Structure 1
Amino acid sequence: MTEPNKSRPPGWLRSILNLDEEVTKKFVVWGNGLSPLHSLRLHYKALEITCHGIPWLAFWLSLNWLFNCPDLIPLQINILCALILDIVVVGLVKAFFRRRRPIGNKNDAFVQIGPDNYSFPSGHTSRAAMIAYIFMFVWPASIIFYPPMLAWVVGLAMSRVLMERHYLLDVGGGILLGILEGIVMNMLWLGDDTAKAIYNQFADEKIEGGEYHV
């Protein structure tokens, strides 16, 4: 029996992907050839961990239970919802497109399972962009944190390409997806009473100001 033909992207999309691969390869050669960037290669793995979904979920879940501060609970619950949203959306998009990672990618990523094996979009950059968007436009932090947040997003995006984890189009798509997720979270942002009510469903103690506090 003849093996059925695998679905292939249309010609125009294949041309875009080929161009993306070519430009990415040139960018990697250029970037890794620069002394300042080359000296930072040891830090790329650390950047990778700073926006991995599992550490973020573990950290934020721990934060919810270790620091019982009523004023921060709405933020904690909403960020937790945002992280879950990002993981689900990125997983679905990766599973749909199934783009292979660059050939130069080393099999040393921190906890890579299921759809994580695919390249488009970059979940790390989508998560970073979403978090930065939330702390800049939804729950604005002090403006002094904007430069380091933006530097984190840009540095993370560049490191994903220079490590050959992703193509340029992957990180660009990840940033765009993260911004869209931030906009969605802004529209779906849970109010204080709702967030505290959700927290009360899992906390051992009722918190002051919660809908079910007695």
Structure 2
Amino acid sequence: MPSPGARRSSWVNGSRPEPGPCARRRGSSCSCPAGGALSARRLSQPFTAVALRSLLAVDLWLSRRLGVCAAEDSLLGGIRPLVKLLELSAHRTPWISTAAYLLLTSRTAEEQEFTINLLLALLLDHIMVGVVRALVRYRRSGMFPTFPSHPRYSFPSAHATRAAMCARFLHARLLLEAPVQALLLVWAALMGLCQVLLGQHNVSGVTLALALGYCQYSLVERCWFPIDRLQDVLLTLLGDGQDT
């Protein structure tokens, strides 16, 4: 053990004496519990949470790799206008406009029943997507620049749900040839793919959106409005309007 004189001389010379064994033991005893507690917290995390974060990381990595049309200078930026054109085919504006035009120009009761239920199905899709987005509140990952007009929440993909629902709607309600039915399914799958290529949605969001749109038609079919019921509802509304 150094004498007090030696300790004073070391301070005078400008060198700080090394801590003794007790100080070293106190420092080590103070640092060990913090590291041990941190390791314990990491080990105490549930396996499902760790697995979910791992899947989200893989999903984000894969979505980044597949976003080859996200910008003009991307790997496949040259075909970006073509992919955007494909995306436009599932936008709500052309579908609602076409259904409204068919309703105005329809001449038979069967055509009116078909177009009215198609409009109701499109309305259901819009409501379901809005409800799921409000519940999940998954913000856009910021993988690529998005337009200010894009919604704040991006799950699920509205284009993918609409494509899957409309494809199954037309597949079930129209007497189409087998090649046309196959083309509808391919169109719905390509719609989900183009959302990933454009970098607007993750792979998981598009996959679940296609499944949601496919299941939406089951609800549409269960709540299908025949033309006689629609006429009764219309007559009831008109009668109430005349009474008032």
Structure number with bigger Rg:
2
Secondary structure at 2:129's aligned position in 1? helix
* 1:82 and 2:117 matched: no
Q: 1 or 2, which has the higher helix percentage?
A: 2
Q: Tell me the residue number matched to 2:156.
A: 121
Secondary structure at 1:71's aligned position in 2? helix
Give the distance between the partners of 1:100 and 1:151, measured in 2 at CA: 28
Task: Give the CA deviation at 1:151.
Answer: 2.3
Identity fraction in percent: 27
Task: Give the CA deviation at 1:162.
Answer: 0.6
Task: Give the CA deviation at 1:67.
Answer: 3.2
Task: Give the CA deviation at 1:141.
Answer: 3.0
Give the distance between the partners of 1:147 and 1:98, measured in 2 at CA: 34
Q: Which amino acid aligns with 2:172?
A: F
Q: Which amino acid aligns with 1:27?
A: L
Counterpart pick for 2:64 among 10, 25, 32: 25
1:1-20 aligned at under 5 Å gives the runs 11-20=50-59
Task: Give the CA deviation at 1:75.
Answer: 0.7
Normalising to structure 1: TM-score of the pair?
Answer: 0.75
Q: Which structure carries more relative contact order (alpha carbon 8 Å, separation 6+)?
A: 1
Q: Which amino acid aligns with 1:96?
A: L
Q: Point out where structure 2 has 5 or more consecutive residues left out of the alignment.
A: 1-48, 239-244
- Number of aligned residue pairs: 188
Secondary structure at 2:67's aligned position in 1? helix
Q: Which amino acid aligns with 1:78?
A: N
Task: Give the CA deviation at 1:199.
Answer: 6.4
1:177-192 aligned at under 5 Å gives the runs 177-192=212-227
Task: Give the CA deviation at 1:15.
Answer: 3.0
* 1:168 and 2:207 matched: no
CA RMSD of aligned residues (A): 2.9
Q: Is the CA contact (8 Å cut-off) linking 2:156 and 2:205 kept in structure 1?
A: yes
Q: Point out where structure 1 has 5 or more consecutive residues left out of the alignment.
A: 1-9, 204-214
Q: Is the CA contact (8 Å cut-off) linking 2:171 and 2:184 kept in structure 1?
A: no
Give the distance between the partners of 1:180 and 1:64, measured in 2 at CA: 25
* 1:135 and 2:170 matched: yes
Q: Tell me the residue number matched to 2:89.
A: 50
Residue-by-residue CA offset, 1:82-139 (whole Å, 9 max, x unaligned): 1011000001101111212242333348x64xxx331111110111001111122354
Q: Which amino acid aligns with 2:137?
A: R
Give the distance between the partners of 1:201 and 1:130, measured in 2 at CA: 30
Counterpart pick for 1:106 among 126, 132, 145: 145
